[in-house]
Amino acid sequence: MKKALLALNSIKKSGVIDDYAIGGAIAASFYIEAINTEDVDVFLFMSASENSILLSLRPIYDALEQLGGRVEKEYIVIGDWPIQILPAYSPLVEEAIIQAVTVQYGNIETRIFTAEHLCAIALDTGRMKDFYRVASFIEQGKVDRLVLNQLVIRYKLEDRTKNVLNWSSDEN
């Protein structure tokens, strides 16, 4: 993981990307118990190139390949970890990137989504494992319910909360 984070920090420093934030199970594991996952979800802002209206991951992949990464399917593998580069696909994810928090992985600085944004994105994604993850955040007391409730209202996720078994527990 350290190799992957160093590579991401390197392409950020060299200006290939503006900034990034880790989401998904790897970020969730910062707050709650380890969650099995295949990859590291890295979210960032992207703009279309001059000659195309389509977003291209090519410059990012090229830069990461120069740092030892190799492309495999939709991932770029750095060290042992497949990295999935995900452009901000919704206003909620954009907000999550902007408000991401800086944390240390060993001696390496990186950014991860807040617990509340991870929960809101999980509700939005809406698979059973996502609802279970939100329940874990609540059960382990790792989420500010007031902040999460505000996100739920702002991004119209109220219906999704019905699928979280302990949603009503300790709600403030």
By the rule CB under 8 A, 1 interacts with other proteins: yes
Near other proteins by CB under 8 A: residue from 80, 89, 168, 170 = 80
- The interface region with other proteins, picked from 9-17, 27-35, 69-77, 125-133 by CB under 8 A, is 27-35
Rounded to 5°, angle at Cα 168 from 162 and 97: 70
Near other proteins by CB under 8 A: residue from 8, 25, 63, 143 = 25
By the rule CB under 8 A, 75 interacts with other proteins: no
Site string for other proteins, 92-131 (x = CB under 8 A): -----------x-xx-------------------------
Would you say 40 and 84 are in contact if contact means Cβ atoms under 8 Å apart?
A: yes
Rounded to 5°, angle at Cα 25 from 20 and 30: 80
Would you say 60 and 16 are in contact if contact means Cβ atoms under 8 Å apart?
A: yes
By the rule CB under 8 A, 84 interacts with other proteins: no
Distance CA 4, CA 11 (A): 11
3-state SS class at 19: coil
Q: Which residues bind other proteins (CB under 8 A)?
A: 1, 25-26, 29-30, 32-38, 80-81, 103, 105-106, 140
